[in-house]
Each structure stands twice: as structure tokens, then as C-alpha cells.
Amino acid sequence: MGDDPFDTPPRTPAQTLVLQLGAWEGPLDLLLTLARSQRVDLAQISILALVDQYLAFIRDAKALSLEIAADYLVMAAWLAYLKSALLLPPDPQAEPDPHDMALKLQFQLQRLAAMRDAGAKLLARPQQGWDTFVRADPEGLMFETTARYDTSLFELLSVYGAIKARNSKSIHVVRRRAVMALDEAIERLERLLGASIDWTELSRFLPRDLADEGYARSVLASTFVAALELTKLGKASLSQGAAFAPILVRARE
Amino acid sequence: MSIADTMINDATIDEARPALLRALEAVIFAAAAPVTLGDIAAHVGERGDLATLLRELAESYAPRGINLVERGGRWQFQTAPDLAHHLRPAREAVRKLSRAAVETLSVIAYHEPVTRPEIEEIRGVAVSGGTIDVLMEAGWVRPAGRRETPGRPLQYATTPGFLAHFNLSSRRDLPGLADLKAAGLLEREPPRELALPFSGENE
Amino acid sequence: MSIADTMINDATIDEARPALLRALEAVIFAAAAPVTLGDIAAHVGERGDLATLLRELAESYAPRGINLVERGGRWQFQTAPDLAHHLRPAREAVRKLSRAAVETLSVIAYHEPVTRPEIEEIRGVAVSGGTIDVLMEAGWVRPAGRRETPGRPLQYATTPGFLAHFNLSSRRDLPGLADLKAAGLLEREPPRELALPFSGENE
């Protein structure tokens, strides 16, 4: 199985790096490892010694002509600068203060170490699903929601009042339907007029004794308009002696 | 097994009893389904009289909110039956009736027993089935037999719950039309729907 | 509320205590997920000092094989950790978290809410894609709003599921949290009084 050429992953430059530097997760990790080789208590390490250790490590790696990732080289350059700044006579103008920079580096190393330690302790704790177990299939909690309707008597009554009001309006609509439609009036007037060529008062063609005053007015209006229509159609002639005088109508040949 | 072995075993079991009871609890609790004695033994080992221990455990849980019970040879934890109301408590949600529902309710109250076509006739609009359902759910309206006319339509009437909710001692307490008019309730709300001509068709 | 009322209430609660404890047990047992005090109150009613009762109940379960535990303000029953050997499936590969994931998780847990650049600064390397996703998929890490600084970077924090998984009652139970805080290691900048690191340079 191991002979299968397809099992062998292709070699890449990145892998060359893995061989040497892959044990570390970046320059800070490498620095932390070097610092720990110095002392267990990171608060007591010598930054200058640490810088020397790091630079020596990078130099050796270069001697092996391995490719070194850029971030490791950047860190090397920065540490070389820090070392020279720390060795120079203190310059109060120096910004940032190299001692602060060293302090910060130490802080970062301590913090990273603390987080590593915390991660290990976390994993050492009893874990759910491995050390502790919860119910596999709980029923679950639910609520039976029941609706309670809230309506006031006022609302009930005013709504009923509104329905009644609406209905009384609709009765009014019914009365308006008790009209003589124009078509009906034309047909009626034409029939009553027949072939009469005598002038006759239009009012004489109105039905008598209409109890419903509204209907009577409707008939009057419709009959008048019907007379106009018939005249327009050339079936009748209209005549009125003066304003408000009786309107006369007769059939036309 | 010799008698001596048994005795030694018993002694060991007595010492291990609390630990075994704890293991039983945990195994039954964590199991995906009710477990048989065999299932339990597979987890805690063939130690002691599991059946007796289980009964003992069940007894110790009896007064609690969680009970250990046997159902057809399988053991499981379950909540005490008398606490079901805590697990699915009824929660009231106050809801407003729709305008259509209030209208329908008022028509039923004033005209009961009344059929659906009659309600529609009075309201002048169609009444959806859902509207009457809501009123029945509210406990204010009930079916009140069928009218002995062609089609035998179902009639509706109000319930005692309706009277109670609206603080009425009887339907006679509902104000009459004259009262409504005097109270200004007849013109209080403009009708929302248009006064369609068909509303009068049945009069 | 008058003193008399309080006394009456207290008496009622005392009488109702056993029933209330049973209800608490049943509700937590039946819940599909760890429940908050609010969830519990919604089911058993706002009666008495639920927090105190829960602690009491937890104590009564402590010696048992099933324990009542609080995880991030949520309560649940679970098996006692020392009984794991009875319960573990015989063959189940535990999914190993990568070192980067464990480290990222602890950085988030101890520094939350924390932005991705901050995580990278602490770890000294870029957070590779897949690290935070894995933690979110596990249900241990959640986005926790944006920081109101230029660029409004997204912050991350842990979830109640994280606390539950690692059997932590609250973030205060994170191992070594107090020491780290006292040492100033959870600050963003080194404390000024930190011992000078290059004390050995002149030796």
C-alpha cells in the first residue's frame, strides 16, 4: 500500500518549511519554546538571551539553506533592532522606549503561554457527551395556548347599532328602486299617445291616485323626459304657451 | 459457586451498593430508550440483584417529581404524572375579535336562534365559517338545533358564557333598538362596507 | 406589600415547597435544553425564591448518579462525571480539536468579547479559516456584535453551550481565571509594573 505512488503527496516548498519550522505556529510560538528552554517562569527570562537564541536559530536554518517564511525573518529583523536598542546607552528621546518593547514582548509570551495552559486545562475538564451525559430524548416543554377573547358590551352594541343603521339606509335604497325607469316611461307614453294628433296635456298621461309621493314624482319626471325623447325621435311634438303653462303633447305622423 | 463465594460477593455488593445505585441511575437516565435488565447489566456489570436494586431506586424516586418506572420489563425515568400541567401549562392569550366577528355575535344575540343565511341577510355581507368558529371557540355561541325548513339549516344562539362575559343576566337585558337610538348608538359608527343594493334584496 | 402579606406568602410557600421542588425537577427533566430561571418560572409560576430552591435541589442530587447543574444560568440534569465509564459508547472516536482551535477557544473564552485581530495578536499567527467556524459549528462560539471602533470589527464570545460542554457553571469557573486576571494577563497591554524582563542582561 505504501508503494502506491499516488499515496505519496507531492513535495512542495511549503513542506520543506514544515520539516524545520512546522513544529511552531509562527515566530511567537518559536520564541515561546526558546524562552521555556531558558526558564520555566517566563517572568524571569532574559530578553537579550532570547533574542540571541532566536537569531541563532534562524541563522542555523539559513545554513541548512531552508526556505524560511517571511514572518520569521521579519521577527528576526525586529529582534535584532530591539537588541541593539537595548544595548545602546539609554536614550530618553527613543520612541518607542526599547524597554517598553521588551516588556511588551515578554507580556505577549506570558499571555500566549497562559492561553495554551488554559486550553489544556479546559480540555482536561469533564466534557459533555464524554464524561457527562444528558437525557437522550427529552419530551420538551410546551405551552397550551388558549385564546381568551376580549370584547366589551359597548363594542357589541355599537356594532349592532351600526348594522341597523346600515339596514335603514338600505331600506332607503329600496324606495329609490320604486321609480319608473325612463325606458318604461317611453314605452308607456308612446303606447298611450297612440296616433292621437290632438294636443293633450302631458299631465293627463300620468297615472292617477299614486299613493307613493316619491313614485309619483319619479313618474312625472320620467314621463316628461320620455316626452322629450319621443320628440327628439320625431314621434311626438311638444308645445308650451308660456313659462309654467301646461305642456301639451301629440303624436306626429 | 460456593456458599463462601456468595457470602464474599454479598459483602462486596453491600459495600458497592451506593455506587451501583448511582450507576443504575446514570445508565437509565442517559439511555436513548427504556432499558431492560440485560441492557443495564451490560453497562454496570453483572453485579448483585439488579431487579431488587431497581425497585429500591424506584421507591426512592417515588415522592419526587421524576419517577423511575418499569414498563414491560423496561426501565425509564419519567416525570410524575400529576405534574403534567407544569410541562404543558395553559397560557392565555388575550385576543381581540374581528369586526366581522363582533357583528356576527351581535346579530346572533339579538336574533337568536338564527341561521347563517339570516345572519348574512341582516349584516348584508357573507359570513365566513371561520367567524362563527371563533365565536364558538370564545365560548359565546353554540349551535342551537336545525330549523325545520327546507335544507334544515343550522341555527345559532348565544351561551350562558356570553351573558357572563357581557355582565348580562339575560338576553332581555340587551337594549332594544329604541334604547340604542336614544344612546346614540345607532349612528355611532359609519358602516364600513358600502351599502350595496343587494343588502335590501331580501326585504 | 404589608408585612402581614409577606408572612402569609412565606407561610404559603413553605407549605408549597415540596410540591414546588417536585415541579422544578419535572420541568428541568422534561426540557429539551437547559432552562433558565425564566423558563422555569413560566412553567411552575412565579412562586418563592426559585434560585434558592434550585440550589437546594442541586444539593440533594449531588450524591446521586444524576446531578442537577447550572451552566451559564441554565439548569439541567446530567450524569455524574465519575460514572462516565459506565456510559461511554464502547467505540467512539472523540473528535480531536486541533491545537489552533483549542488555543483560539481559550483566547475567546478568557478575553471575550474579542475580535479576530486580537485573537491573532495573542496567538502571534493569523487565524486560519476553519478555526472559528469549527468552534461555531460545535456551538461553543458565537459572534457577539461589533466593536464600536474604526472598522467596526466583529467580536466573538462563548455560548451557554460552551459552558455546558465543559461543565462550567459560569465563566467565573474557567480554570485559573482569577490568577490570570490578577497577573494582568487578560489585559490588552502589559501592566507597567510587570517585572523587567532583561534583569539578567547585566549579570
Please state the pTM of the whole predicted model. Answer: 0.60
Q: Do C64 and B25 touch (CB under 8 A)?
A: yes
At C177 the pLDDT is 93
- Separation of alpha carbons B104 and B168, rounded Å: 18
β-sheet bridge partners, residue A250:
A237
CB atoms within 10 A of CB A1: 4
Distance from CA of C108 to the nearest CA of B (A): 31
Alpha-helix runs per DSSP H in C33-87 = 37-44, 50-61, 84-87
- Separation of alpha carbons A48 and C197, rounded Å: 9
Domain range for B128 is 99-194
**Backbone φ, ψ for residue A250 (5° rounding):** -155, 160
At C56 the pLDDT is 93
In tens, the pLDDT along A23-42 reads 788 889 999 989 988 877 88
CB atoms within 10 A of CB A3: 6
At A141 the pLDDT is 78
pLDDT higher at C53 or A6: C53
Does some domain include residue C145?
A: yes
Q: Are B162 and B140 in contact (CB under 8 A)?
A: yes
Structural domain total, chain B? 2
For residue C80, what is the domain's CATH number?
Answer: 1.10.10.10
CB atoms within 10 A of CB A39: 13
Assign B168 a pLDDT band (cuts: 50, 70, 90): confident
Q: Do B77 and C29 touch (CB under 8 A)?
A: yes
Q: Do A119 and C105 touch (CB under 8 A)?
A: yes
- The rounded mean pLDDT for chain B is 79
Of B91, B183, B200, the CB nearest to A144: B91
Q: Which 3 state secondary structure label does DSSP give B87?
A: helix
pLDDT higher at B16 or C57: C57
How do strand B90-96 and strand A144-150 relate by DSSP bridges?
Answer: parallel
Distance from CA of B24 to the nearest CA of C (A): 8
In tens, the pLDDT along A94-136 reads 777 888 888 889 899 999 999 999 999 998 888 888 888 888 8
Given a cut of 90, whether residue A60 has pLDDT beyond it is no
Same domain for C190 and C116? yes
At A190 the pLDDT is 87
Q: Which of residues 29-48 of B touch C (CB under 8 A)?
A: 29-30, 43-44
At B187 the pLDDT is 59
In tens, the pLDDT along B38-92 reads 889 888 887 778 889 999 999 999 999 999 998 888 899 999 988 888 887 777 7
Q: Are C166 and A124 in contact (CB under 8 A)?
A: no
- Separation of alpha carbons A198 and A237, rounded Å: 10
Closest listed residue to residue B127, CA positions, set B114, B116, B135: B116
Does some domain include residue B188?
A: yes
Give percent of chain A with pLDDT exceeding 90: 16
Given a cut of 80, whether residue B192 has pLDDT beyond it is no
Percentages of chain C per state (helix, strand, coil), in multiples of 5: 50, 15, 35
β-sheet bridge partners, residue B90:
A144
pLDDT higher at B69 or C89: B69
Q: Which 3 state secondary structure label does DSSP give B112?
A: coil
Distance from CA of C12 to the nearest CA of A (A): 26
Same domain for B22 and B43? yes
Same domain for C79 and C10? yes
Assign C69 a pLDDT band (cuts: 50, 70, 90): very high
Buried b / exposed e across C51-60, counting CB within 10 Å, b at 16+? eebbeebeee
Please identify which residue in the block is written with the cell numbers 336562534. B113
- Separation of alpha carbons B182 and B98, rounded Å: 26
In tens, the pLDDT along A191-235 reads 888 877 788 888 888 887 777 777 888 888 889 999 999 999 888
At A38 the pLDDT is 82
Does some domain include residue B93?
A: no
Closest listed residue to residue A35, CA positions, set A108, A97, A119, A86: A108
Q: Lowest-confidence range among A124-128, B174-178, C98-102?
A: B174-178
Q: Which of B189, B192, B198 to mutate to test the interface with A (most CBs of A within 10 A)?
A: B189
Given a cut of 90, whether residue C174 has pLDDT beyond it is yes
Same domain for B72 and B13? yes
Distance from CA of B58 to the nearest CA of C (A): 13
Does some domain include residue B73?
A: yes
In tens, the pLDDT along A66-83 reads 777 888 888 999 999 999
- Separation of alpha carbons C161 and C71, rounded Å: 8
Residue at B66: amino acid letter: I
Same domain for C71 and C121? no
**Closest chain C residue to A139, measured at CA:** C30
CB atoms within 10 A of CB B167: 9
Of A147, A148, A156, the CB nearest to B106: A156
At C19 the pLDDT is 87
Does some domain include residue B33?
A: yes
Q: Of B22, B54, B86, which residue is a domain's last?
A: B86
**Torsion sign over Cα B100, B103, B104, B105:** positive
Distance of CA A65 to the CA centre of its chain: 57
Q: Of B18, B52, B86, which residue is a domain's last?
A: B86
Q: Of C36, C53, C86, which residue is a domain's last?
A: C86
Of B25, B79, B89, the CB nearest to C65: B25
- Separation of alpha carbons C103 and A237, rounded Å: 110
At A37, list the grid cell.
Answer: 528552554
At A8 the pLDDT is 46
Same domain for C79 and C109? no
Supply the Cα-derived Rg of chain A in whole angstroms.
Answer: 55
Distance from CA of C174 to the nearest CA of A (A): 8
Q: Lowest-confidence range among A167-171, A186-190, B138-142, B181-185?
A: A167-171
Q: Lowest-confidence range among A5-9, A92-96, A105-109, B34-38?
A: A5-9
DSSP per-residue string spanning A91-151: -TT-SS-HHHHHHHHHHHHHHHHHHHHHHHHHHHS--BTTTB---SS------EEEEEEE-
Q: Is C15 exposed, middle or buried (0-12, 13-18, 19+ CB in 10 A)?
A: exposed
Q: Which 3 state secondary structure label does DSSP give C183?
A: coil
Distance of CA A5 to the CA centre of its chain: 54
Does some domain include residue C203?
A: no
Given a cut of 60, whether residue C196 has pLDDT beyond it is no
At B77 the pLDDT is 92
Please identify which residue in the block is written with the cell numbers 329609490. A176
Assign B15 a pLDDT band (cuts: 50, 70, 90): low
Same domain for C23 and C51? yes
- Separation of alpha carbons B75 and B58, rounded Å: 10
Question: Residues 6 or more apart from B195 whose CB is under 8 A from it?
Answer: A166, A169, A170, A173, B124
β-sheet bridge partners, residue C76:
C69
Same domain for B103 and B73? no
β-sheet bridge partners, residue B70:
B75
- The rounded mean pLDDT for chain A is 80
Q: Are A47 and A104 in contact (CB under 8 A)?
A: no
Assign B28 a pLDDT band (cuts: 50, 70, 90): very high
B-chain CB neighbours of C79 within 8 Å are 25-26, 29-30
Considering all CA atoms of chain A, what is the largest pairwise distance in Å, rounded to the nearest integer?
Answer: 141
- The rounded mean pLDDT for chain C is 83
**DSSP H/E element including A80:** helix A70-87
Any chains having at least 3 CB pairs less than 8 A from chain B are: A, C
Same domain for C56 and C124? no
Assign B128 a pLDDT band (cuts: 50, 70, 90): confident
Does some domain include residue C94?
A: no
Angle at B187 (CA atoms; ends B185, B190), nearest 5 degrees: 120
Does some domain include residue B94?
A: no
- Separation of alpha carbons B161 and B34, rounded Å: 46
Same domain for B79 and B111? no
C-chain CB neighbours of B83 within 8 Å are 22-23, 26-27
Same domain for C78 and C115? no
Same domain for C80 and C113? no
Q: Do A166 and B180 touch (CB under 8 A)?
A: no
